[in-house]
Every structure is written in structure tokens, then in C-alpha cells.
Structure 1
Amino acid sequence: MSADRAWGAVPGLVRSAAERYADVEAVVEGRTRITYGELGARVERAAAACVANGVRLGDRVGIWAPNSLDWMVAALGAVSAGAVLVPLNTRFKGAEAVDVLRRSGARLLFVTGTFLGTSYVAALRRAAGDGDGPGPLPGLPSLERVVVLAEDAPADFRTWKDFLASGEGVSGAEVRARSAAVSPSSPSDIIFTSGTTGRPKGAVITHAQTLRAYEVWSDLAGLRRGDRYLIVNPFFHTFGYKAGVIACLMRGATMIPQPVFDVDTVLANVAAERVSVLPGPPTLHQSLLDHPARTAHDLSALRLVVTGAAVVPLRLVERLRGELGVDTVLTAYGLSEASGIVTMCRRDDAPSVIASTSGRPIPGTEVRIVNAQGTPLGPGTPGEIWVRGFNVMRGYYEDRAATAEALTPDGWLRTGDVGVLDDSGNLRITDRIKDMYIVGGFNAYPAEIEQRLGLHPDVADVAVIGVPDARLGEVGRAYVVRRPGAALTGDELIAWARREMANYKVPRTVEFVRELPRNASGKVLKGELRARVP
């Protein structure tokens, strides 16, 4: 039975999980422990509050908060009321968050209070306090309500507790009727991802795509009832929300959300909660293996690791299996425009296949390697990766030009990544046409970073590349041309950048140059810049 026929849409999955796994522990967060039955009741209450606050079918609802039980309840409540979820990266600065909220036309926003020493409410006010909009943030005219996931909130915002109380007049029957009206073909979420132009683009994914993709993911990974899943991957990312929350709802696994990656906390959680499933980027598992106090913790319950997002050393796979006794280690490849999953290794693959490739296309998906003219290439020949299947997005939200550029008329998604297929159909990622690099599991896009750095008054020209980093995999290096007479230092530019953009985007090093190498058409020759890296 296909996922969309089984559950229809995400609201049906939540209701089904509450019934099928009613007494199974659903979420562990500190001292809070709730069952699937209790989680279902909380989600229904949040959905009632969304209805009471005017959320309609198809309305966009933003959420800007770290991994938590409240994130799950707010997000699933909004989706159960028929909204389209717009998750915001917690590393965003205020201006970056406001841009996504404005472009998505979000009518309701759930936001954390203070996280990592930053007041997100204050950041929103600074970035959207000016304008002529009627709501709580004048610079966001579509945004009608802001709910703070905390006990305190400014007068024109609402606390989470007050928001939930506002839905008490909405009956359970009304909530269920609203949920039933959500079509499998309707959008379930819009995942905004920055492209090579630096302008965020929102990949529109439907309920049916989400459910089918993560039924497949759960099958291939071997996720099962009784698993205890530490979700370190951020919920704003498909890996955290869908391979985490959605997959657990399908299988009845226990979710243990962790808001920030900290290796000491991971070790403590894995030992104390008998964690059996720990997906994440290779840097997470490398940090775990190399921690000096690792042997002081009982990690014997770990049985499943799914990784990707970077080159995976064979030694890492061997150590996870040998030193930690992890039965299943898998690698995968995906992107937001393809529901987060394109290829995946299988559980009986050899360690060398798992370490050197991202596996084979998932069922219902085709992968093709093509040359610059779009002509298919044979095994062993590198080219651009094209993907076609049920998992490919409907398009970019309200961006026809970008959609036409990404999708061919016959449904192929041009990924912009370069790869090679072997004779068995396994995919190996070799390069990125888009110059994207990955910082500790987060995609960093040079064009976007260059655009922001170019706003500094002392910067005349700038180019950013990714360079190897032992801890994070890759980090940014900026090549900067100063304006005449400027005495800008690298430390000053980095400090300025930390105030202007998410931390993973901030270049770790700056090299000042008289001019950037360019070709006859004026394009920066990034190959020459990469050649300068020792």
C-alpha cells in the first residue's frame, strides 16, 4: 500500500500514529515524556488554535525555532489545520528570516524566544519594524500573528500558552474536518534553499511526495517500532523534519530532539536514553568517535547510522561498525528540490560501496548523468546529475523563471551537482557545478555570501570558495579586493560578517588581493583561486 493511500496526507499520518502507537513513548525532552496518544492530542489542540486564529487551507505558516517538542506540535498543528509549513533556518539573522517570511507571504509565525544567546523576537523587530503593514511587524504586511514559543512575549505577540488557549472554542470535529480536507496533492511545505544567484528559492513539496519518500527512507534504513531516535539534524532541514519526525511517526519510534549539536550532550543522550538511531553528517559521527570520554559512555544500543552531505571516509564506516558495533551504516544523497532523497545505499552493501558512493536511486526515481547539452552519459563518465520521479518538487514557490531553469519539460530536475554512476548504478558525487560547499552539514552558497560581503563599505570585489577543514569538512575562504584607501583587515571583515549572516556562511579566512582572476567575459576563475589553497 502506498503512503499516500494509507494516510492521505500528513494530518492523517499524525492521527494514525496516535491511534496505532497510543501507548508508545513518542517524545523525550528533558523530564518531559509523552506517548503518541498524548502527542496526537497536543497536535489537535495546536490545530484548533490555528483554526481559531484564521489559518485557512493553503495559508503559509512559518516556524523559526530549534528542535523541540513545541516545534513538532506547532508545525504538525499548523499542517493539520491545512497550512503549508515554511521552516526557517535557526542560523538566519533577522534580515534573512524576514526575506523568507515576506516572499512566502506567511500569515502566522511561530518563533523561539532566546536561542544561543540571541533574542529572535528582537531580531525580527530590527529587521521588520519599519513599514506600513497592519500586523505585529509592519515590514511584513502579510503576517497577522506571531506566537512566541516561550512563557513571555511582547504585547503585540502571543505566548504559546495563550495561543493554545485561544483554540478551546474549536471542536475536535471541526479540526478533523479541516484535516480531512487536506489533499495528498496539496503542498505540505516550502523548503527555502539559497541558489547560485543568492536569492532564496522555495521548493514546493506535497503531502503525497513527503509520505511516499519517507516510507521508502524508513524501509531502506530499517527504522522500526521501539527504535529510539536522537534527532540532532535541524528540523528546519528535510533531514531533521522528514527523515526524523515524519519517519518516526510512520514507524512508532521514540523521538529525542536535540536543539544544538554538542558532542558531550550527544554522548550523554545516547547512553541515558539507549539511543538506537543516530543520523547526521559525517562530522557528527567523527566527533563522537574521537571524543576522549567516549569509552566512559554506554553506546551499545546504537544500531543504525545514516549519513551523507559530504565525502564519507571508509575508515569512518569501519570505525562505526568496529568500535561502536553499529549494525547498519548507510549513505544517501538528496536535495530539497527532490524531497530530500534521491539515492541511498542498501543494508547489504559492502562498506566500500557505502563509503565511496551515495547508493542507488530509490524506488520510483530515475537518475541520469548528462553532458552540457543534456545528452545521457554512460557509467564511469562524470556529468551533471539529473533526477526524475515522484519525489521531484512541483516547482519553486512563485518563481516561474527559476522553476523553468531547474525542471526540463519532461520532468527531469537539473541538480547542478556533478556525479558518476558505476556499473551497478551507484552514484558518486564528484563536484558541484553551483560551487556550493558544505560546512558541517549545512549548504553554503558562495554567490549568496559574496553578495552580502559586497555590502561592506570597504569591499570593492569579492569571491568565496570552499576549502578543506578537518572538523567541518569545508569552510569558506574569501578573496577580497579592498576599496582604494581602505585599511580593512580580515578579522574586521569576519566580525562584520558574523553580524550579517548565519555563522556557517561566514568565511573562516580572508585573503586580500589586488584583483580577482577573471576570464574574457568577466567571470571569476574560481579554479585559479582553488589552486592557491595549500
Structure 2
Amino acid sequence: MNEIPEWGTLPRMLRQRATAHPQSVAVIDGDTTLSLSDIRTQASQVARALISRGVVAGDRIAVWAPNCWQWVVTAFGIWDCGAVVVPLSTRGKGIETAEVLRRTGCRVLVAIDDFLGTSYIDQLATAVGGPSSDAPFADLPDVHTLVLLQGDRNIPGTFPWEAFLDLHDTVPLEAAEKRALAVEPTDIFEILMTSGTTGQPKGVMLNGGQILRAYWDWAEVCGLGKGDRLAVVSPFAHGFGINAGMIACVERLATMVPVAVFDPDRALDMVENLGLTTLAGPPNLFSRILSDPELDQRDTSSLRWAIVGAASVPDELVIALQDRLGFERITNAYGLIEGSVVTMTRPGDPTAVVAGSAGRVVPGMEIRLVDSDGAPARTGEQGEIQIRGYGVMQGYWDAPQLTSDAFTSDGWLSTGDVGSLDCEGNLRIVGRTKEMLIVGGFNAYPAEIESLLLHNPKLAQAAVIGAPDDVLGEVVWAFVVPHAGENPTEEEIVAWARANMSNYKAPRRVLVLETLPVTANGKIAKASLRERVDQLRTSV
């Protein structure tokens, strides 16, 4: 493993990279191409404009926009002035977003006004009321500045993108450089929201030093480097999008291609037209590409490596990625916002390891599994995953009790994930303790059942939900997507499951869909599926 250069901070990393490789292409977004020199120049303008609006080191700046080139220069500008970026999900509504802005005390909101026919600003104004005499939103008094990436609004404290950048002339370059170079590796640089689909969102605090190292090492294992072109499908509002998609590309001199809305047809167009070398995302993203009826007529020869994660990976998917898309290397990994990168498969691992596990622990991190009593789980036994090391969060924003509750008395972070370790240290993810079903007294984990269902040769995707049952307490319901050309019935799949898995794991109901609903970061939207289960149960 090559050691990370002694940058320490995002501003110093950007300066070294832009000085040594000024013309290296960092971003391709439609008709806009940015070199590292361009990013440094525009990030400095953003930083100086923020300083002109009174932003000081440690202030929180929210960004509410889909993946785009302005997101990139805004983020590096925020870090240049020593502030903290708070990414906001484009799936969030006005009330949710207002709550995050209040809780983190954001001073500036950088947003796109209209996306996919939705006005974010109108949503927010509906939730918190209109402007005051000197601020964009009367009931968000901390937010004194609103920057619109597109369009304009006649609202106090609001600037269209170009007018905002013009403010940089009011702050000397020397003052901004002094601010950038004063940033310390231990300074918090991002607050990422987590658990929004299962409960009250929590703000995970991470510092620049740990994320620079985590994704330098991640890129080293994956093989991301100069000349690579990575389609960033995961939103910049998600830890993988901003850290692996944005920061790692600049660190490693790769080119990021921001994707605002994933479409398998557009993905294949980008592969052909831009020469993409790298794709990253959960298995269902790759399944959607592989199901494209025109795939065999498309030129995917530029593709070099893929990274899959966030779910079980069928052997057949790994083989199809190699045979049909031509990937030379496929990496599986396990990580979480609170713990960054934890485990990864390695080059040369056999298909069974890549498909059946998330690999081995990365240098600088530790992992242990414990049973429900807190005793160490033996090799092959399931247990809750606990981690510690340099990549673990600094805590939850303004939530000392939640932070304390997340750690054991001896300093390990309890992830809530359930897994097992084989004799070689490969981690297999089984599910989450909170998602665990108790079927007639037996513990059943959705991720394990989903993996088993995908052994059915007719099924391309599967998602499992628990439903209440008067006799067993809970039973399994499955939502599945067949392979192209296959038309399995519910009865066929249930019969197959009963013949091929433990009876308590076999689904009671199976619903066959054309597609599974997904969240903004490409994971299966299980909250939507739970609503579907509730509706079907009440309609009976």
C-alpha cells in the first residue's frame, strides 16, 4: 500500500495537485470540463465570496443540489475557507431539509431552484415561511445567504451563481490563502446525515485527515488512478458520492463524471462517448445495466473496474460483469458513514470471495463480531459488527448522548450490522440488527434471504420485508425483479424458496415487479416497500 502524501487537509491537497498537474481533467459534466487548475481557481472564488458574506472557520454551509460541476467547486471552496459542508439530499422535502438546516445551524444554503420539476426553494418556503427583511427565510434566521446555482429570485440575501462569484473581488486573495492554509487535519470538514429512512437523521462529523487517508487507501485497492474516468452515480449528498466520487478522484488524478439522475441507457451512452473506465454502485445498479436489451450492441471496451457494495452480490452478477461488460477487476467493500471504509476485497480474490463477502479489513481499521450477550462470535458465527480505527467518526453533531450510546465502554463503534467472518478474515454481511426478523422464534436477516433468492436463475433482483403474522410473529415478504425474458409466477418462486431454503426464511408472499424503487444513492428504498406491504395487508 503506497503511503498517502503528507497533505493533511483538503486545501493543501488541492493546491499540491493543481500545481503539479494543472491541466489534468478533473470533471466532465455535459459541455463543462474542469481541470485541477480550474477547480482551484473557482474554489478560491467561492471561498472569498463566502468570506465576504461573513463566513468564518467552522461555519456550516449546506449544499442542496444534484451531482454537477458547481457542487464540486462549491465543496472545495467551502473547505478552502475552513467551513464545514452539510450535503442535503435531493430526495428531501421542505420540512426535512428545514430541520437539518436548523439542527446544524447552517449560515449559507447553496441550492438549485428547480430539479425534476420541483422547486426546492418553494418547498422550503412552504415549510418555514417566506423571507424576512434581510434573510431568505424568516424562520431560518441562521441562514443569512442563499446562493442559486441556476436562475434568480428577488429574495433578500439571495444571489444567482455568477453574482455570488463576483463577490470574491471584495476579499484579497492573500487573506483567503491564509484562511485555507490555517485549516488543520483534525478540523471537522463535513457533516453527513444518516438514518434518515429509519428514524431521526443524525449528523456524522468527519475530519479532513481521516477522509483523505480512507479514500486514498480505497482508491489504491480499487486501482483508481490517473486516466480513469469514474461515473459518480451516488449523490454527493451521500458519503460515497462526496468522498469516493469527488475527493478520491482529485487525490488520485482521475476524472469524475457527475450523474444527476441514473439511467441505464445514459450510462451506456457515457461509457461509449466518454470512455468511462469505472462504475461504482450497489448490485441493482449493475443489474439494470445488464438488463438493457441493447447491451450486446454497445461498446463497453473502455470499462476496467467495478466496485459493488451495499448488498449481497450474486455469483452470476460478478461473472456477467466480467463476461458481458468486460471488467478486469471487481471489488466488493463494506463501509458506513460513521466508519468510512472498513473492509474490501483485494485484486486476485476468487469470484466466490468477491460475491460472497465484503473482503478483509483495511489497514488502520479493526473489526470484531459479538453475540447478543457481548461475547466474541466464533469464526463462521453471526454477530454484530463493531469497529475502531482512524476512519471512525468524531461523533454526532450536537448529540453527545447519541455519540456515547454508539460506542462500547472499551471504545468500539457498534454498527448495528450483522455479519460473520471466515477463517481468512473475509466479512460476510448478513443484515442489520434493526432489520432482523423473528419468524416463529428464529432470527432471519433480509440480506441473507435476498442473497438466497438470487440463486433462482429467473431472478435478477430481490428485496425482503418483514410483515406481521398472528401465528409466527413475523413472516417474510419478497419483492423480486425477473431477468429479461423470464416471467415467473408468485407460486413458482414460493415453491422454489421452500425447496431451497430453511422454512422460516422462505417468503410467505412474493410480488413480481418490473423495477425496485431506489433511494437517491441507489439503494433499494425499503420504506416504500414497507408501505406497499401495509397497503396490501389492509386491503385484504
- Using structure 2 for the length normalisation, give the TM-score: 0.81
Question: What amino acid sits opposite 1:42 in the alignment?
Answer: Q
Q: 2:479 aligns with which of 468, 485, 491?
A: 468
- The answer as to 2:385 corresponding to 1:385 is yes
CA displacement at 1:172 relative to structure 2: 2.0
Q: Which residue of 2 aligns with 1:413?
A: 413
Distance 1:280 1:144, change over 3 A: same
CA displacement at 1:39 relative to structure 2: 1.7
- The answer as to 2:90 corresponding to 1:90 is yes
Distance 1:512 1:117, change over 3 A: closer
Between the two proteins, what is the percent identity of the paired residues?
40
Once residues 408 and 196 of structure 2 are traced to their aligned partners in structure 1, the CA distance between those partners, rounded to angstroms, is: 17
CA displacement at 1:253 relative to structure 2: 0.7
> Contact conserved, 1:210 with 1:242, CA < 8 A, in 2?
yes
> Contact conserved, 1:317 with 1:329, CA < 8 A, in 2?
yes
Distance 1:385 1:174, change over 3 A: same
Q: Which residue of 2 aligns with 1:15?
A: 15
Q: Which residue of 2 aligns with 1:171?
A: 172
Please state whether the residue corresponding to 2:169 is helix, strand or coil. Answer: coil
Q: Which residue of 2 aligns with 1:509?
A: 532
| Counterparts of residues 513-532 of structure 1 (less than 5 Å) | none
CA displacement at 1:196 relative to structure 2: 8.6
Bigger Cα displacement from structure 2, 31-40 vs 342-351: 31-40
CA displacement at 1:471 relative to structure 2: 8.0
> Contact conserved, 1:26 with 1:252, CA < 8 A, in 2?
yes
> Contact conserved, 1:27 with 1:34, CA < 8 A, in 2?
yes
| 1:155-177 deviation line (CA, Å, top 9, x unaligned) | 32211111111111222221111
Question: What amino acid sits opposite 1:306 in the alignment?
Answer: I
> Contact conserved, 1:331 with 1:354, CA < 8 A, in 2?
yes
- The answer as to 2:298 corresponding to 1:297 is yes
> Contact conserved, 1:131 with 1:140, CA < 8 A, in 2?
no
CA RMSD of aligned residues (A): 2.8
Please state whether the residue corresponding to 1:167 is helix, strand or coil. Answer: helix
Question: What amino acid sits opposite 1:323 in the alignment?
Answer: R
CA displacement at 1:289 relative to structure 2: 1.3
Please state whether the residue corresponding to 2:151 is helix, strand or coil. Answer: coil
Question: What amino acid sits opposite 1:110 in the alignment?
Answer: V
| 1:318-347 deviation line (CA, Å, top 9, x unaligned) | 1111122210101111111012x1111101
> Contact conserved, 1:333 with 1:358, CA < 8 A, in 2?
yes
Bigger Cα displacement from structure 2, 194-203 vs 176-185: 194-203
Q: Which residue of 2 aligns with 1:60?
A: 60
Once residues 289 and 307 of structure 1 are traced to their aligned partners in structure 2, the CA distance between those partners, rounded to angstroms, is: 14
Once residues 410 and 56 of structure 1 are traced to their aligned partners in structure 2, the CA distance between those partners, rounded to angstroms, is: 36
CA displacement at 1:210 relative to structure 2: 0.6
Q: What is the count of residue pairs matched by the alignment? A: 467
> Contact conserved, 1:62 with 1:108, CA < 8 A, in 2?
yes
Question: What amino acid sits opposite 2:528 in the alignment?
Answer: V
> Contact conserved, 2:131 with 2:155, CA < 8 A, in 1?
no
> Contact conserved, 2:136 with 2:155, CA < 8 A, in 1?
no
CA displacement at 1:239 relative to structure 2: 1.1
Once residues 381 and 422 of structure 1 are traced to their aligned partners in structure 2, the CA distance between those partners, rounded to angstroms, is: 9
CA displacement at 1:182 relative to structure 2: 0.8
Q: Which residue of 1 aligns with 2:313?
A: 312
Q: Which residue of 2 aligns with 1:487?
A: none
Unaligned runs of 5+ in 1: 448-462, 473-497, 516-531
- The answer as to 2:420 corresponding to 1:398 is no
Once residues 11 and 245 of structure 2 are traced to their aligned partners in structure 1, the CA distance between those partners, rounded to angstroms, is: 16
Please state whether the residue corresponding to 1:286 is helix, strand or coil. Answer: helix
> Contact conserved, 2:304 with 2:329, CA < 8 A, in 1?
yes
Once residues 35 and 60 of structure 1 are traced to their aligned partners in structure 2, the CA distance between those partners, rounded to angstroms, is: 27
Q: Which residue of 2 aligns with 1:127?
A: 127
CA displacement at 1:360 relative to structure 2: 0.7
Distance 1:106 1:464, change over 3 A: farther
Please state whether the residue corresponding to 2:280 is helix, strand or coil. Answer: coil
Q: Which residue of 2 aligns with 1:321?
A: 322
Once residues 134 and 466 of structure 1 are traced to their aligned partners in structure 2, the CA distance between those partners, rounded to angstroms, is: 53
> Contact conserved, 1:343 with 1:362, CA < 8 A, in 2?
yes
> Contact conserved, 2:86 with 2:190, CA < 8 A, in 1?
yes
Please state whether the residue corresponding to 1:334 is helix, strand or coil. Answer: strand
Please state whether the residue corresponding to 2:418 is helix, strand or coil. Answer: strand
Question: What amino acid sits opposite 2:221 in the alignment?
Answer: L
> Contact conserved, 2:64 with 2:111, CA < 8 A, in 1?
yes
Distance 1:199 1:378, change over 3 A: same
> Contact conserved, 2:296 with 2:324, CA < 8 A, in 1?
no
CA displacement at 1:78 relative to structure 2: 0.8
Distance 1:195 1:416, change over 3 A: farther
| Counterparts of residues 7-406 of structure 1 (less than 5 Å) | 7-129=7-129, 135-156=135-156, 157-194=158-195, 198-339=199-340, 341-406=341-406
Once residues 79 and 42 of structure 2 are traced to their aligned partners in structure 1, the CA distance between those partners, rounded to angstroms, is: 13
> Contact conserved, 1:277 with 1:302, CA < 8 A, in 2?
yes
CA displacement at 1:101 relative to structure 2: 0.9
Once residues 29 and 303 of structure 2 are traced to their aligned partners in structure 1, the CA distance between those partners, rounded to angstroms, is: 19
CA displacement at 1:512 relative to structure 2: 5.4
- Using structure 1 for the length normalisation, give the TM-score: 0.82
Question: What amino acid sits opposite 1:88 in the alignment?
Answer: L
CA displacement at 1:94 relative to structure 2: 1.0
| 1:13-59 deviation line (CA, Å, top 9, x unaligned) | 22122112211111111112221111211111111111111111111
Please state whether the residue corresponding to 1:256 is helix, strand or coil. Answer: strand
Q: Which residue of 2 aligns with 1:479?
A: none
Unaligned runs of 5+ in 2: 437-445, 451-462, 467-473, 484-518
Once residues 400 and 130 of structure 1 are traced to their aligned partners in structure 2, the CA distance between those partners, rounded to angstroms, is: 33
> Contact conserved, 2:130 with 2:136, CA < 8 A, in 1?
no
CA displacement at 1:211 relative to structure 2: 0.5
Question: What amino acid sits opposite 2:150 in the alignment?
Answer: A
Question: What amino acid sits opposite 1:121 in the alignment?
Answer: I
| 1:164-210 deviation line (CA, Å, top 9, x unaligned) | 11111222221111111111001110111126971111111111111
| Counterparts of residues 489-500 of structure 1 (less than 5 Å) | none
Question: What amino acid sits opposite 2:261 in the alignment?
Answer: V
Once residues 105 and 482 of structure 2 are traced to their aligned partners in structure 1, the CA distance between those partners, rounded to angstroms, is: 38
Question: What amino acid sits opposite 1:163 in the alignment?
Answer: F
Question: What amino acid sits opposite 1:350 in the alignment?
Answer: P
Once residues 503 and 139 of structure 1 are traced to their aligned partners in structure 2, the CA distance between those partners, rounded to angstroms, is: 34
Once residues 477 and 79 of structure 2 are traced to their aligned partners in structure 1, the CA distance between those partners, rounded to angstroms, is: 37
Please state whether the residue corresponding to 1:511 is helix, strand or coil. Answer: helix
Bigger Cα displacement from structure 2, 281-290 vs 300-309: 281-290
Once residues 56 and 276 of structure 1 are traced to their aligned partners in structure 2, the CA distance between those partners, rounded to angstroms, is: 39
Distance 1:131 1:119, change over 3 A: closer
> Contact conserved, 1:133 with 1:139, CA < 8 A, in 2?
no
Question: What amino acid sits opposite 1:285 in the alignment?
Answer: F
Once residues 283 and 321 of structure 1 are traced to their aligned partners in structure 2, the CA distance between those partners, rounded to angstroms, is: 16
Please state whether the residue corresponding to 1:106 is helix, strand or coil. Answer: coil
CA displacement at 1:146 relative to structure 2: 1.1
Once residues 475 and 118 of structure 2 are traced to their aligned partners in structure 1, the CA distance between those partners, rounded to angstroms, is: 27
> Contact conserved, 1:345 with 1:359, CA < 8 A, in 2?
yes
Distance 1:136 1:422, change over 3 A: same
| 1:237-273 deviation line (CA, Å, top 9, x unaligned) | 1111111111110111111111011111101011100
> Contact conserved, 1:133 with 1:140, CA < 8 A, in 2?
no
Once residues 77 and 58 of structure 2 are traced to their aligned partners in structure 1, the CA distance between those partners, rounded to angstroms, is: 14
> Contact conserved, 1:60 with 1:105, CA < 8 A, in 2?
yes
